[in-house]
A = this chain, B = another copy of it.
Amino acid sequence: MARREHSLAPRKHPQQQRSRAMVERIIAAGREVLLRDGYDAFSTNRVADQAGISPGSLYQYFPNKAAIMAAVIDRYSDDVADRVAGALTERLGDVGPAMIRATANALVDALAANVDLLRVVIEDLPAASNLDRRRALEQRVRELVMAYLAARPGTTRSTDHATTAWVLVMAIENLTVRYVLDGPAISRELFLDEVVALCTGYLAIA
């Protein structure tokens, strides 16, 4: 989607500019509050304070508190989703254990990039407030995995790629998230070895 630069079309109201900037400011403030003060202290007053605006002004940009929090998480989720999907897409052409390992590695990197926010999202937020986004990401990744599988007929144990992808995604998701959050006494290399073993064993079994 190429951006119109120097468009001759009548520019959107200048307020739009301000709006956009203010929305960003509020989201950033919300993120800050979430990280600094935690989920329970995420109040509209605090967010407004952090954003340096009046509580009333929040309602010019968001219909209610939930929408602000949703936007904050959206922002983060989109970021993670893009990193994760990116990690996968980049390596979709590759093949075999090396591809799995590299992907898993990128996955851990993606989650570790914002551990603090990840922890808040996974541990502090009720999962429900993130369910849709999480499902969407899982779905997206599943489709990429299915594409990968479809491109390599005969190399997998099962031809039910939907199921295979579902299993892989669910298993790997929890593994990486918990690896990043809980920091078990497992080196990164060992962890990657195990992920590779898990995936190849599952996929390739006779």
Contacts and interface: CB of A to CB of B under 8 A. Distances in A.
Interface stretch (A20-28, A75-83, A105-113, A164-172): A164-172
A126 B128 contact: no
**Chain A interface: which size bin?**
35 or more
A170 B195 CA distance: 12
B160 A171 contact: no
A198 to B, nearest CB: 5
Q: Is the interface of A mostly helix, strand, loop or mixed?
A: helix
In the assembly, how many copies of this chain are there?
A: 4
A194 B174 contact: no
A186 B202 contact: no
A95 interface: no
A39 B126 contact: yes
Contact of A126 (B124, B158, B163, B204): B124
Interface string A118-140: 00001111111001000100000
A13 interface: no
Contact of A8 (B11, B45, B198): B45
A19 interface: no
A4 interface: yes
A124 B3 CA distance: 12
